[in-house]
Chains A and B, each alone.
Chain A
Amino acid sequence: MSAEIAYSHTPTDGFHTQTSTLQEATEKLIRTHIPPGGTSQVELQKRYHFEFLLRNLRQGFPERYTSQDASQPWLIYWTLHGFSLLGAGLDDLTKKRTIETLLALQHPEGGFAGGPGQAAHLLPTYAAVCAFAIVGRPGPGGGWESIDRQKMYKFFMSLKQPDGSFLVSHHGEVDVRGIYCLLVVATLLNLLTPELLAGVPDFLATCQTYEGGFGNASFPGWAFEADDPESEKPSNASFDPTAPRPPLGEAHGGYTFCATASWVILQSYIEHYYARPDVSSATSLPIRPEINTRGLLRWCTQMQGLPIELGGFRGRTNKLVDGCYSWWVGGCVVLVEALLGVGVLHDSPTEGQGGEEEGPKAWDDVDDSLFDRKALQEYILCAGQHPAGGLRDKPPKPADAYHTLYCAAGLSAAQHRVVPSDARRHAVISAWDPVQARAHDGTGVVSAASDAEREKLDVLRRETCAHVLSWTEEEGTALYVGGSANRVNATHPVFNLTVTHSDAMMAYFYGQSLPSRLPSRPKA
């Protein structure tokens, strides 16, 4: 293959428009960042990125970050998880200050706000809880015990809409980012209930567009709070969650990640609280909603740019590549693989058909991702690094806190294959203590349920936990462009935390002592 073909431009067919002109200019610019001697020597400037993060954490952010004043937990989470990925631990004083800062963001009525005195909101709630996973611990002063989970659950329920979706805050908008944030927090903190999850899969399914990716929301089933004088009539009684609803907004990388990760978290709920179409007449359960998983895979892989764009990802069809989509789309591919049953460690039933023993195992020998991992690393290393430290959208843009994390997380997703492991799932289930898990319920509403309902909920929580806790790095599949000095730590594909952090937090909030994570069996 000659270099000329390898770096061919996006065909314009001699027909130029604003989109193709911008695309051409970007290809020209990115092309200049391809090292003449190839990418085998390219370095991740860890030292500079570390200093960039440290400066933000210790000295703070310059005035232009006022636009992030309502996203303060995000600034903290992006920075702290950036350290985790770079392999830097935090000293006790930093942890203590972070815990105190985070607690100042907890809203008196539950949930976390973007800043002190601001309203609670699902997005900062995710960021704050993830930051707590990184800096917190059990016991006094560790922060975890100070999270008011019962109020948080009430806050979540106060945002619930008849179509299954959630407002992101009171008087706020509905979109799938909020759903993802809520589901992650509810999973980490032992707040899953059927009333919380009701209708969520149906809503998500309506957000998938004809392209295969997901848009931000769908219509309608969206209502004001009942106490609002201008409210639309709440339509709980008559709302049909299965009615077709158009997705609002085109397929987009950020929403696609959020919807896909949510769908992964909801697998056990969908399994136990919905009926398969073929058996639906025999039960009172609603029919399982479906998404087009193959179309989703196609869309995700279509978002990877050409070699001349260094294999970075774009967030929408015919838009430009941007380092942050390394995570939102590049990091989404492994989630879609899991939904398709591709690359699951050890034999596993495909597509819910059962047949654990006899199921097709043709994929087990396939230990590589369905996107170009090498190319994505090249984009991040060659175009995503700012020479002064921090990572970015693309040259010549400045680095910022957001892009630094999502480029680093995307690099991690391209270096490591973290996939669901059946062995790990079984180990978690065997060691699971249902009495403790129920005793550690954070909602305070479970005691009102009937015995049968509670038993079903026990199963839901155990299986959801066992699944998310089962994600494990597949031995022998790491790939480091530029050599292993460029290694960053692996990150959990659903949560975007290290498994050390998410395991510890879940063990605490479910009252479990999880089996230790032994290095998994090397591949034969």
Chain B
Amino acid sequence: MSELGLLADDPEWADVTPIRQYENVNPIAPIFYSEEYKDATDYFRAVVKAGETSPRVLKLTEKIIRMNPAHYTAWQHRYKTLIALQSDLEEELRLMDDIAKQFLKTYQVWHHRRLLLTAINSVDVAQLELEFLKDVLEVDTKNYHTWSYRQWILAHFNKEARLWAGERPYAEALLDADVRNNSAWHHRFFVVFSSGEKIALAPNNPSAWNYLRGVLEFTKTPFETLTSFVLPYTASKPPAPEDEVVDLDNPLPSQDAELPCVAALEFLADVYEKRGGDDTAKAVEVSVPMTRVFKQADLRVQFWKTLANEKDIIRKKYWEYRIREALQRAT
């Protein structure tokens, strides 16, 4: 296979004088490259300098990319060459499929596809990309670049209902597989939000709570509207089975739930903070499990103190800051 040989021994490259990386410099912190990598990049420097865009450049850049997929200049020059040669860009996408799967965590792998898809500008191809990305995300369900690229495709073709149609079920399926997958939560928010029952599955799941808070803030819905949903999660143990009343809007924590849930305590404190902030003068009495009856302004502090000193000690400083800030604002 010529792929593994050195370009220095290849008659096809006999017309090119390779350029060494450092001339007249004894570099600090050098990397010990393989002979093959050194050979390929020496020729690549010569290619870039000459501005060559020919079929052999596609072979050379592929070779470099397979050895070092983060070589952004190789990607850049490859893209220029593809355009200059008017290459079949869909073929290029297929060629890149296994490179993408092999080097999931490399920025350039995904950016190259984005350049190609923009140039191809076909909804059919975009649809195929979404399918391909499902395969990839099966291997690594939280891969940042893959997700970012998927969201870019949807935004880029944002008027194409057929591309968007499968996204919500897809996000749901991923959350069914792992309700703690924050990438899937983010995607669900990106696609369309609806909140709810998933907190009940595993209450101590920050992804679900952040999502819920995000939806409320985005839709400008007061946190308070969810008070009755959140309250059972602030109790010290799940409700006894006989007490359970099926309420689809306010699903109760499971019997295995480890309560009280820190995120629920925080949520409730925020509810009281909002009330306190909106109307500090009124001291409406509210009864809350696990606490006595407090004035509202005190309730939030009580919750934050519980978090700071008992339930979430690692964030003690943060909860104390919330207390100071709230009290200062009140005066």
Contact = CB atoms under 8 A, between A and B. Distances in A.
Interface of A: 1, 6, 10-15, 17-20, 56-57, 60-63, 65-72, 75-76, 79, 94, 97-98, 100-101, 104, 113-119, 121, 169-173, 209-212, 215-217, 219-220, 224, 228-230, 232, 246, 248-252, 295, 297-298, 301-302, 304-307, 311, 316-319, 342, 360, 362-363, 366, 368-372, 375
B240 interface: no
Interface majority SS on B: helix, strand, loop or mixed? helix
Contacts of B22: 101, 104, 116
B177 interface: yes
Given A66-B68, A171-B76, A372 B181 contact: no
A302 B206 contact: yes
A282 B236 CA distance: 55
A66 B205 contact: no
A216 B257 contact: no
A251 B253 CA distance: 27
B202 interface: yes
7 contacts: A11-B258, A57-B29, A209-B214, A246-B151, A246-B155, A295-B217, A305-B314
A171 B68 contact: no
Contacts of A57: 28-29
B26 interface: yes
Contact of A116 (B21, B181, B202): B21
Contact of A70 (B29, B73, B202): B73
A61 B32 contact: yes
B324 A318 contact: no
Contacts, number: 253
Contacts of B4: none
Nearest to B212: A210
A104 B258 CA distance: 59
Contacts of A14: 254-258
B256 A13 contact: yes
B214 A228 contact: no
Nearest to B179: A17
A229 B142 CA distance: 35
A56 B180 CA distance: 39
Given A118-B73, A317-B182, A318-B205, A66 B37 contact: yes
B28 A230 contact: no
B317 A248 contact: no
Contacts of B203: 11, 13
B276 to A, nearest CB: 15
A98 B25 CA distance: 10
Nearest to A135: B28
A331 to B, nearest CB: 15
A169 B178 contact: no
5 closest Cβ contacts across the A-B interface?
A: A14-B256, A210-B214, A19-B180, A11-B258, A117-B45
Nearest to A69: B68
B29 A19 contact: no
Interface stretch (B114-122, B164-172, B283-291): B114-122
A60 B30 contact: yes
A298 B189 CA distance: 19
- Residue with the greatest number of chain A CB neighbours at <10 A, chosen from B49, B144, B201: B144
B317 A76 contact: no
Interface string B292-322: 0000000000000000000001111110010
B71 interface: yes
Contact of A366 (B183, B201, B324): B324
B272 interface: no
Given A10-B204, A17-B177, A210 B314 contact: no
B229 interface: no
Contacts of B256: 13-15
Given A69-B68, A173-B107, A117 B48 contact: yes
A173 B318 contact: no
Contact of A66 (B67, B72, B207, B210): B67
B294 to A, nearest CB: 23
Contacts of B189: 209-210
A169 B186 CA distance: 28
Contacts of A228: 83
B56 interface: no
